[in-house]
Structure 1
Amino acid sequence: MSRFCLRPPMLLAGALACGPALAVPGTGLDLYGRIGWAYDDNLLRIPGDAPAFDNGRSDSWRTLEAGAVYDRTISRQRLVAHAKLSKVKFDHFRQLDYDGRDVQGTWYWQLGNRFEGELGVVYAQTLAPYTDFRSDQRNLRKQRRGFFEGGWKLHPRWEAHTAISRDKYDYELAAQAFNDRTEDVFELEGRYLARSGSAVGLVLRRIEGSYPNRRPFSASLLTDDFTQDELKARVDWKASGATTLQALAGYARRKQPSFGSGRTSGVNGRVTLLHDPGGKLHYRASLWRDFAPIESTVVSYTLNKGASAGLTWDARAKLRVEADLAYEQRDYSPRVALPVPGGLDDSLRTASLKATWAPRQSISLSAAYFHQARSGSQLLGIGKFKSNGFAINASGQF
C-alpha cells in the first residue's frame, strides 16, 4: 500500500482533511501535526422521516493529530514507516469521542536486477460508518493488514507478479459483531511492459472471506463466508503525454451460500482516466462495477455500479482547489433471494469541494464542503437521507 493516511469511513470530512504526510524519500524522519474543526448537519445519517437521537441530528467536532514518517533508503532497500495518533472530540454526541491509531510499515525490497516487491503491515483504529447502521453509540473498527508482493522480471518486456494479503476487521460495538471478518487474497499475474511505459497484464485472483458470527436476521445456520474467483486484465496505457488510462476489469464469480443459491457472477472491475494537459487544470474520471462489503444487519455485501469525476485547479502557486462528484448504485439482489417489487437497491451520491493554501512548503491550511445523500431501501430498513457539512484544518510538517 502506498497511502500513509487511512481515511475515516464515517465522515467525508475525515477523507477531505486527511492529506498525505510524506517524508522526502531517503531523508529519514519527519514529524507532523494537524488540528481541525468540522460540522455535519446529519452526523449519524438519520433518514428524513425518522426521529433524531437525543433530539439532534447535527454536531461539530475537533481533531488533533500527531505523527511521524520514517523513510530511509539503504543500498537497494527502502524502509518506510508511519505512525499517527489522533484524538477526536464531539460537541453534542460526546459518547462518540475516540482516540484513533494509524500505524504502517513497508519494506520495498530488491534482490539483484530481476526480483523486487513489497512486504508490509498496517494497523488502523477509527470510527466505523453510520451510513447503513442506525445507532448513536461509539463503534470503533480495527483493521489489521499484512501483505506481500513480488515481481520477477523474466525479460526486459515481461514480468511475473504475485501478491498475498490478509485483512482482518473487528468492531467494538456488540451489535455490529456480525461484521467481524477476515479476507485473504491470493493473486498471480503475467505482465507485458511496452517501451512507451505502458503495461498490460492478465490477473488471476482468489478472495476468501470468513465471518465468524451470523447476522441477526439470517434464518440460515450458515455464516457469510464466501469465495470469489476473478480473471481480469490490468491495463496502464499511456495514451499520450497528457492522458493515462488505468483499468483492472474482467470476470468475477462469487459463492456465498448463506442466502438462496449464493452464486453470482459477471463483469467486475474499475476503469480510471487521468488527463493532465500541463496547465493549471488536471482531470480524473472513473467507472466501476464491483462487489463491496456493507455494514448492515441484513446483508454483508452489495454489487456496486458507479461513476465519479473530478478536477484539480492550481489557482495560484500556493493555492489548490479540488472538486469531486460521485454516484453509486448498490444492488442487493445478487445476495438476497426475496421477491421485492421494483427491485432491491439504493444509491449514494457524494460531492466535495476543497481549497488548500500552503504559505510554506511545510505548512498548509484547508477548507472543505461535503455533501452525501442516499435514496434508501425499505426492505433493509434504511431510509432516505441528506447530509451537508464543512471542515477547516491546519497542518505542519517538521
Structure 2
Amino acid sequence: MKKPSIRPVMTAAAAAACLLPMALQAQTTLQAPAWRLGESTAQPAGQSMAVPMGQSMAVPMVVPMSPAQSISQPYSPVSSSPDQREGLQFRAMAGIEHDDNILRTNGGEISDTITGLGLGLRYQKRVSRQQFVVDAELNNYNFDDIGTDYNTLNYSAAWLWQAGERLEGIASADRRQFRDVTSNGAIAGVNRRTERNELFEAGYKLGASWRVLGGLQHSATRSGDPNSWDGSLSQNSVRFGAAYEPATGSSVALRFRRGEGEFDNAPVASDFDDNEIEATVRWIVSPKTRVDARLAHLDREHSAAPARDFSGVVGSLGVNWDITAKTSLTGGYVRDLGSYVFGTGGHLSSDRWYVGPVWRATELITVNLRYEHETRRWEDVTGTTDAGRRDKFDVGALGVDWAIRRSITLGAQYRHERRSSSLPAFNYRANVIGLTAKLTI
C-alpha cells in the first residue's frame, strides 16, 4: 500500500497563504531560538551566526544555513529582520579579494584576484498589525586568472501577520547562493551552492504564556560539488508543538517534525522520510547575556536504501554576551547529521564550535574576530574511498568596518582557512585578503 504523502497538505497550505492577505485585509531578514515563529526545525544552522529573518510581536526568529556556509563569504547575506527604518532602501557594493589558493587544492595552488559588484534593495512597511519586509541582492563575481564569472541572486522576504489577539504567524521565502569551498579536494573548479527555504508557521495563544504551534516548510539545496553537505535534495515538512514563554522573555518549547524528501540528479540515492523531535530553550540570563539551546533526535529513513538510514542527536548551544558598551562576544557549538549520496551506504556528521569577539573601537570603527573549528566524519560509508574519512576545518578571520559617512561603509578582512583530512589529497591551506565598499541610500 502506498504510504500517505504530505504534499497535498503543502499544496493546500500554499494556496491558503496566498489568500491570507485578502482575508486579513492587508495592504501593500547563534543559534536557534526557542519557540520563535519561523524558526526552522530542519537541521540547524551550519554557520553559527544564523541569519535573523524577522520578528513577530517583538520576538526574533532565524533561518538556518547548512554547514557549507560556515566558510566566510565576501558580503553579508540579505536579511528580512525588521529594523527602525521603513520605506525603500537601495544599496550598491564593490569589493576585491586576493586568494592564494582559489581552487582549494593540495599542491599546484593557483592564486587569483576576484572582483565583485552588487546591487540590492530593501523594502519595509508596517500596515496595522501586519509587517512586510523584502530584501534582495544581485552580485557578480569575476576571477582574473581562472576565467570564471558567475552571478548570485539572494533574497529574503517575510510577512509577519497577526489576526485578532490570539493568532499570529509568518510567511517567508529565502534564497542563498554562495561559493561552496568546503569539499573540493583536488578537483580544479569553483562550485556554487543554492539553498532555499519557504515557510508558513502560525501560533495560537492559549493564555498569557502558553502557545500551540503549527507550520509547513519546503527546503531545497543545489551544489556544483556532488560531495557537498546534503547536496541536491528537496524536502517538505509538517511540524507542530507547544511553547511556554513567561514575562521574563525566556522560553521553552517542544516540537515534532515530519518530513518527506528526495534527491535530484543522484540516482544512487533514494527518497527519504524524516522524523525529528526537539526541545528548544532561550534563557535571558541578564539584559546583557542570552543563551539559546536546541536538543533534538533526528531519524532519517531511505525508502529503497536502508543502508543509508541514520539517526542520532543533533542540536546547538549559543551564547551572546554584551560585555561592555564597546565589546561583545558570541560563541557556541553545533551538531549536525546529513545524508551521503555516493557508494552503497553511510551518512555524514559534523561537530563545530566557534567564538567571535567584537570591539567597537569608536562610533565609526568596529573590529571583528572569528574562529571556527569543524570536524566532519563519513560514518558507516561503504563502496567509496570516503569510507572512514575524517576532515578537520579551521577558519580564522579578522575584519574592520569603518563608517566614513552615514551612507558609506568601508571594510577590510583577512581570512585563513585550513583543512586536514584523513585523505591527504583533500588537505589545503588558503589565505584571503579583501576590501569592500558599500553605499546605502
Give me the TM-score of the superposition, normalised by structure 1.
Answer: 0.84
> Retained in 1: the 8 A contact 2:175–2:197?
yes
Matched letter for residue 397 of structure 1: T
1:101 aligns with 2:153: yes
1:274 aligns with 2:304: no
1:88 aligns with 2:134: no
Q: Deviation of residue 291 (structure 1)?
A: 1.2
2:91 paired residue among 18, 21, 32:
32
Q: Deviation of residue 122 (structure 1)?
A: 2.7
Q: Deviation of residue 81 (structure 1)?
A: 1.1
1:261 aligns with 2:289: no
- What residue in structure 1 maps to residue 399 of structure 2? 354
Change (3 A) 1:183 1:133: farther
1:68 aligns with 2:121: yes
Q: Deviation of residue 341 (structure 1)?
A: 12
Change (3 A) 1:173 1:202: closer
1:230 aligns with 2:243: no
Q: Deviation of residue 169 (structure 1)?
A: 3.0
- What residue in structure 1 maps to residue 59 of structure 2? none
Q: Deviation of residue 338 (structure 1)?
A: 6.8
Change (3 A) 1:325 1:170: closer
Matched letter for residue 168 of structure 2: E
> Deviation digits for residues 75-118 of structure 1, max 9, x if unmatched?
11111112211111111011x20122123322111111111111
Change (3 A) 1:10 1:303: closer
- What residue in structure 1 maps to residue 408 of structure 2? 363
CA distance in 2 between partners of 1:58 and 1:262 (Å): 39
CA distance in 1 between partners of 2:143 and 2:70 (Å): 13
> Retained in 1: the 8 A contact 2:307–2:345?
no
> Deviation digits for residues 2-56 of structure 1, max 9, x if unmatched?
45999996894525x32667885462100011110001111111024xxx3xxx5
Q: Deviation of residue 386 (structure 1)?
A: 1.0
> Retained in 2: the 8 A contact 1:179–1:213?
no
Q: Please, which moves more after superposition, 100-109 or 70-79? A: 100-109
Matched ranges for 1:170-185 at <5 A: 170-171=222-223, 179-185=231-237
CA distance in 2 between partners of 1:6 and 1:255 (Å): 22
CA distance in 1 between partners of 2:137 and 2:248 (Å): 39
CA distance in 1 between partners of 2:286 and 2:303 (Å): 46
Q: Deviation of residue 293 (structure 1)?
A: 5.9
> Retained in 1: the 8 A contact 2:92–2:119?
yes
> Retained in 2: the 8 A contact 1:183–1:209?
yes
Q: Please, which moves more after superposition, 307-316 or 119-128? A: 119-128
- What residue in structure 2 maps to residue 114 of structure 1? 166
> Retained in 2: the 8 A contact 1:307–1:326?
yes
2:73 paired residue among 14, 19, 35:
14
> Deviation digits for residues 120-160 of structure 1, max 9, x if unmatched?
22344444436335444454444443211211111111011
CA distance in 2 between partners of 1:132 and 1:368 (Å): 23
Matched letter for residue 362 of structure 2: R
- What residue in structure 2 maps to residue 206 of structure 1? 258
Count of residues paired in the alignment: 380
CA distance in 1 between partners of 2:426 and 2:360 (Å): 39
> Retained in 2: the 8 A contact 1:183–1:207?
yes
- What residue in structure 1 maps to residue 37 of structure 2? none
CA distance in 2 between partners of 1:108 and 1:83 (Å): 18
Change (3 A) 1:43 1:169: same
CA distance in 2 between partners of 1:223 and 1:343 (Å): 19
- What residue in structure 2 maps to residue 387 of structure 1? 430
Matched ranges for 1:133-144 at <5 A: 134-137=186-189, 139-144=191-196
Matched letter for residue 45 of structure 1: R
Q: Deviation of residue 242 (structure 1)?
A: 2.0
CA distance in 1 between partners of 2:168 and 2:429 (Å): 47
Cα RMSD (Å):
3.3
- What residue in structure 1 maps to residue 367 of structure 2? 321
- What residue in structure 2 maps to residue 162 of structure 1? 214
Fraction of identical pairs, as percent: 24
- What residue in structure 1 maps to residue 13 of structure 2? none
> Deviation digits for residues 246-297 of structure 1, max 9, x if unmatched?
0111322222477663333222101101111333211111112111467989
> Retained in 2: the 8 A contact 1:10–1:131?
no
2:417 paired residue among 351, 372, 379:
372
> Retained in 2: the 8 A contact 1:7–1:18?
no
> Retained in 1: the 8 A contact 2:343–2:384?
no
Q: Deviation of residue 299 (structure 1)?
A: 8.1
- What residue in structure 1 maps to residue 34 of structure 2? none
Matched letter for residue 326 of structure 1: E
> Retained in 2: the 8 A contact 1:330–1:346?
yes
Q: Which runs of 5+ in 1 are unaligned?
A: 216-221
Change (3 A) 1:382 1:194: farther
